[in-house]
Amino acid sequence: MSAQPEPALLYSEEEEALRAAVRDLLTDHCDPAGVITRTESAALHDLPLWKSLADSMGLAGLLIPEELGGQGATHREAAVILEELGRAVAPVPYLTSAVVATEALLACGAEDLLSELAAATTVAALAVGLHVAPGGAAAEARLENGVLHGELTGIADASAADVLLVPADDGGLYAVRSADATVTPQVSLDSTRPVARVSLDGVPGRRLGDTGPAVRRALRAGAGLLASEQLGLADWLLAETVRYLKERRQFNRQVGGFQALKHRLARLWLEVAGLRAAARSAADALATGEDTDVAVAAAQAYAAQVAVHAAEEALQLHGGIGMTWEHPVHLYLKRAKADAIAYGAAGTHRAVLAELVDLRAP
Amino acid sequence: MTDAAELRRRTRELLAAHPPAATGRPDFLRARFDAGLAWVHYPEGLGGLGAPRSLQAVVDAELAAAGAPDNDPRRIGIGLGMAAPTILQYGTEEQKRRLLRPLWTGEEVWCQLFSEPGAGSDLAALGTRAVRDGEDWIVNGQKVWTSSAHLARWAILIARTDPDVPKHRGITYFVCDMTDPGVEVRPLRQITGEAEFNEVFLTDVRIPDSRRLGEVGDGWRVAQTTLNNERVAIGGTPIPREGGMIGKIAATWRERPELRTHDLHQRLLGLWVEAEVARLTGVRLRQQLVAGQPGPEGAGMKLNFARLNQEISGLEVELLGEEGLLYDDWTMRRPELVDFTGRDAGYRYLRSKGNSIEGGTSEVLLNIVAERVLGLPAEPRTDKDVAWKDLAR
């Protein structure tokens, strides 16, 4: 194959500073016990935390140009935020609003809404099922007499959104105020990124642009940066499991001294190191526009197995405590498993790669 | 400080004084060594100029552009990668002056006499004995997995000089003359049919004390220099996308559509992704090194390399179907160079089985990652405070 440009896979000093700021905030305001409690409350999203991140720290507008009130940063910085949000399984609509919906709005040039998102006065959600891969088929609303009808399901973070970006059967993407639609939470495997049913019963919408390129761009960015969230999950799970196995004693020994367990953790470390390289590669490719489709598909073809494996290993190696509601490992397992479906399963991304790198099916 | 411009100037002077077209290869290489342009980070007088290692690329580029011969580093990898750094760090001035120049020019090939039938992963348990006799040491024992032994003039050797102390403390490091009459080299045939390696039998081999590297009993520490350089050498080289084993099967897949099945397709794509991720991990590791922040990922690179080589070559044999039932040639031969991706798929499959054994088994490397990277407790040791002669064997 032809030589690829070498992606920049390290973290810059600025990126590390951003990470430290986000981690400080999450350490103070997003502890695991609080996240567990919230999964059984009426307000699944942590809106005070979101306000701190989006408004006080200005992170909602990271990908939005400065002239629209955003920060004009790149996917590399957004990826660092997602690593930290993954580490904390934070129940905030960052990926769905500040990345996916934002990318769709950028594709449509919807400057008024972008300004609202940057100012953190509005949360948006793309009304495409969370399972849909870039380029995949999504359900559409019916446009009849200028108003929208239909039911769209599996819409992540819709219950936190003020504006829904709805694909309609005329090929257009429409902005719909949530207040005009009926958003019904679905009982979700991952309560920290809950999905909802959006019912449209003759609802007015504003056509923003064509669905195809906007949704494709949005989902590609979502898929690529999801890898950084998955890295954050896996990184926390590995570190926490190593910490616990050094502390836990059975048979008058630290459990982490048994070779059968050491080798499992060493293999997991190797997988996480690989995911870090793959996730940085996808984030850098989204930022530079070089080799983006391959980098995103490769990262998503790899990331889910690592995050899920990390969660499954963490649960098993924690023993009985890992099976309890009280211990946070289940939050990570549920998020990792849902992430394995989000923006296309690994097999879907492998099929995309088969075309991109000319390894065709029989 | 020697900078790039200075190195360029010196390189051009060398080329002017010894035009490659009109100079024999050994003469040119000797002249290059004497000009300090062999390995610029080595000291003056020993083939270098005490310059930063990164500036070697400047010299290499100038020489390559002028069509100058190189020292064929793949043929003398053990000398360059393992013996030389050890000699540089521990050798006497006399040893450095005698040994490094022909080592670098390739006029004298080196091999490594470390592993033994009874000392593989537990190398420090080695039993080859060296007994002091006046100004000499008399060495007896058996070494194994010795590449290039049949071509080598010299060997780096570790042997037991004190059996009465714990195993790590009773070892001494020597330079062994492979032309000594007590050295017998026998090819060791592998599952591939060829003999890349040898067994070396040492019978009353007489080594002058002046060929000792480091202090008596300090050989284990000296050997760490050698072994650390080996791990850098294996699995650390930059590769482009589809470089290495995955490129072979990808080419076969593209050229032979009649071999494709859905099952093979899924497995191929899975391995393609893993190979690409391993490549990116290597890219990231090198970027860390360049930025002066070496990461622990290096410890894992060889684990990836071994597993992927094995899985990919195994899939390739299966992909070939009827052809996978064949093998190119079982003839016993003694190759000078080893290419893991060379020959046909059957060879690649069989040869790659060694990748998880040579240069540290995958199991030992997993222990190293668990203990040094993750900080998990070390294996319980029952051999640390016991005299070597009292160990179970």
Q: Is residue B372 part of a domain?
A: no
Chain B residues whose CB is inside 8 A of the A280 CB are 280, 284
B184-218 in b/e form (b: 16+ CB < 10 A) is ebebbebebebbbbbbbbbeebebeeebbbbebbb
Pairwise CB contact (< 8 Å): A276 & B284: yes
Q: 3-state DSSP call for residue B391?
A: coil
- Rounded-to-integer distance, Cα B116 and Cα B138, Å: 18
Please give the residue range of the domain that contains residue B315.
235-357
Residue of A269, A291, A293, A353 to mutate for B, most B C-beta atoms under 10 A: A269
Distances (CA, A) of A191 to A344, B130, B260: 19, 69, 42
Structure letter (DSSP) for residue A287:
H
Residue B45: pLDDT above 50?
Answer: yes
Å from A33 to nearest chain B CA? 26
Give the relative orientation of helices A259-288 and A292-318 as an angle to the nearest 10 degrees. 150
- Rounded-to-integer distance, Cα A253 and Cα B11, Å: 61
Residue A5: pLDDT above 80?
Answer: no
CA torsion through residues B372, B374, B379, B385, sign: positive
Pairwise CB contact (< 8 Å): A274 & B375: no
Distances (CA, A) of A58 to A22, A53, A195, A198: 11, 7, 25, 28
- Rounded-to-integer distance, Cα B277 and Cα B261, Å: 24
Q: How confident is the model at residue B234, as a pLDDT? A: 39
Å from A2 to nearest chain B CA? 8
- CB under 8 A, 24+ apart: contacts of B380-385: B380/A257, B383/B122, B383/B125, B383/B166, B383/B167, B384/B166, B384/B168, B385/B166
Q: How confident is the model at residue B247, as a pLDDT? A: 96
Listed in order, strand segments (DSSP E) in chain B are 110-113, 129-133, 136-143, 154-160, 171-177, 183-188, 197-208, 212-213
Å from A15 to nearest chain B CA? 15
Residues B85 and B210 in one domain: yes
CATH C-level class of A13-122: mainly alpha
Compare all CA atoms of chain A with the CA of B257 and give the residue at the minimum distance: A362
Cα angle vertex A106, ends A101, A108, to 5°? 95
Pairwise CB contact (< 8 Å): A298 & B277: yes
The domain defined by A142-209 carries CATH number 3.30.70.370: no
Residues B65 and B111 in one domain: no
CB B143 within 8 A of CB B199: yes
Would you state the torsion angle of the CA atoms of residues B305, B306, B310, B311, taken in this order, to the nearest 10 degrees?
A: -50
HSE-CB of A300 using CA atoms within 13 angstroms: 34
Q: How confident is the model at residue A4, as a pLDDT? A: 66
Nearest by CB: B241 against A4, A8, A362: A4
A13 touches chain B (CB under 8 A): no
Residues B111 and B181 in one domain: yes
Compare all CA atoms of chain B with the CA of A265 and give the residue at the minimum distance: B370
CB within 8 Å of chain B, chain A residues 22-81: none
From B230, B242, B274, B311, active-site residue: B230
Å from B160 to nearest chain A CA? 30
- Rounded-to-integer distance, Cα A116 and Cα A121, Å: 6
CB atoms within 10 A of CB A59: 27
Pairwise CB contact (< 8 Å): B284 & A256: no
Q: Is residue B370 part of a domain?
A: no
Classify B316 in phi/psi space as left (phi over 0), alpha (psi -120 to 50) or beta: alpha
Q: Per-residue pLDDT averaged across A58-67, rounded?
A: 97
Pairwise CB contact (< 8 Å): B281 & A273: yes
Listing DSSP states for A29-91 in one string gives H--HHHHHHHTTSS--S-HHHHHIIIIIS-GGGTTS-GGGTS----HHHHHHHHHHHHHTT--
Residues B32 and B134 in one domain: no
Q: 3-state DSSP call for residue B330?
A: coil
Higher pLDDT, B299 or B270: B270
Residues B106 and B117 in one domain: yes
pLDDT tier for residue B291 given thresholds of 50, 70 and 90: confident
Per the prediction, chain A carries an average pLDDT of: 97
Pairwise CB contact (< 8 Å): B283 & A9: yes
Q: How confident is the model at residue B1, as a pLDDT? A: 60
Give the whole-number percent of chain A exceeding pLDDT 70: 99
Domain CATH code at residue B352: 1.20.140
Compare all CA atoms of chain B with the CA of A355 and give the residue at the minimum distance: B269
* ipTM computed for the complex: 0.96
Residues B142 and B260 in one domain: no
Give me the residue spans of the domains in chain A.
13-122, 142-209, 213-356
Residues recorded for chain B: 393
Compare all CA atoms of chain A with the CA of B238 and give the residue at the minimum distance: A6
- Rounded-to-integer distance, Cα A22 and Cα A16, Å: 10
pLDDT tier for residue B233 given thresholds of 50, 70 and 90: very low
Residues B83 and B207 in one domain: yes
Structure letter (DSSP) for residue A93:
-
pLDDT tens string A92-112: 999 999 999 999 999 999 999
pTM for the structure as a whole: 0.93
A274 touches chain B (CB under 8 A): yes
pLDDT tier for residue B286 given thresholds of 50, 70 and 90: confident
pLDDT tens string B139-195: 999 999 999 999 999 999 999 999 999 999 999 999 999 999 999 999 999 999 999
SS3 content of chain A, % helix, strand, coil (to 5): 55, 15, 30
pLDDT tier for residue B300 given thresholds of 50, 70 and 90: confident
Residues B211 and B299 in one domain: no
Q: How many structural domains comprise chain B?
A: 3
Q: Is residue B371 part of a domain?
A: no
- Rounded-to-integer distance, Cα B307 and Cα B289, Å: 24
Q: Which two tokens stand for residue A91?
A: 């129940």
CB contacts < 8 A (A, B): 134
Domain CATH code at residue B98: 2.40.110.10
Residues B121 and B239 in one domain: no
Give the relative orientation of helices B262-290 and A259-288 as an angle to the nearest 10 degrees. 80
Pairwise CB contact (< 8 Å): B240 & A3: yes
Q: What are phi and psi of A299, to 5 degrees?
A: -65, -45
The reply to whether B230 belongs to the active site is yes
Distances (CA, A) of A214 to A170, A175, A176, A200, A345: 14, 13, 16, 21, 21
Listing DSSP states for B245-306 in one string gives HHHHHHHHHHH-GGG--HHHHHHHHHHHHHHHHHHHHHHHHHHHHHTT---TTHHHHHHHHH
Q: How confident is the model at residue B253, as a pLDDT? A: 98
Å from A329 to nearest chain B CA? 19
Q: Is residue B385 part of a domain?
A: no
Residue B227: pLDDT above 90?
Answer: no
CB A163 within 8 A of CB A98: no
pLDDT tier for residue A240 given thresholds of 50, 70 and 90: very high
Pairwise CB contact (< 8 Å): A266 & B370: yes
Chain B residues whose CB is inside 8 A of the A302 CB are 273-274, 277
Listing DSSP states for B92-123 in one string gives -HHHHHHHHHHHHHTSS-EEEE--BTTBSSSG
Q: What are phi and psi of A3, to 5 degrees?
A: -65, 140
Residues B58 and B102 in one domain: no
Residues B153 and B175 in one domain: yes
Compare all CA atoms of chain B with the CA of A244 and give the residue at the minimum distance: B376
Q: What is the CA radius of gyration of chain B?
A: 23
Which residues neighbour A267 within 8 Å (Cβ) at sequence distance 6 or greater?
B303, B366
Nearest by CB: B374 against A253, A266, A278: A266
Q: Which two tokens stand for residue A110?
A: 């919807």
Per the prediction, chain B carries an average pLDDT of: 93
Helix residue ranges, H only, A171-258? 211-247
Residue of A270, A276, A284 to mutate for B, most B C-beta atoms under 10 A: A270
Compare all CA atoms of chain A with the CA of B249 and give the residue at the minimum distance: A359
Strands A195-204 and A163-167: unpaired
Distances (CA, A) of A217 to A78, A142, A214: 16, 23, 5
A131 touches chain B (CB under 8 A): no
Nearest to residue A269, comparing CAs of B294, B287, B295?
Answer: B295
The CATH number fitting domain A213-356, selected from 3.40.50.150, 1.20.140.10, 3.40.50.720, 1.10.3720.10: 1.20.140.10
- Rounded-to-integer distance, Cα B103 and Cα B30, Å: 11
Element (H, E) at A199: strand A195-204
Domain end residue (candidates: B16, B48, B70): B70
Q: How confident is the model at residue A1, as a pLDDT? A: 46
Residues B48 and B5 in one domain: yes
Chain A residues whose CB is inside 8 A of the B268 CB are 359
Pairwise CB contact (< 8 Å): B370 & A262: yes
Cα angle vertex B92, ends B91, B98, to 5°? 85
Pairwise CB contact (< 8 Å): B276 & A298: yes
Å from B70 to nearest chain A CA? 26
Greatest alpha-carbon pair distance for chain A in Å reads 75
B249-268 in b/e form (b: 16+ CB < 10 A) is bbebbeeeeebbeeebbebb
Compare all CA atoms of chain A with the CA of B251 and give the residue at the minimum distance: A359
Distances (CA, A) of A147 to A54, A137, A161, A207: 32, 22, 20, 11
A357 touches chain B (CB under 8 A): yes
Q: What are phi and psi of A131, to 5 degrees?
A: -80, -10
Å from B267 to nearest chain A CA? 10
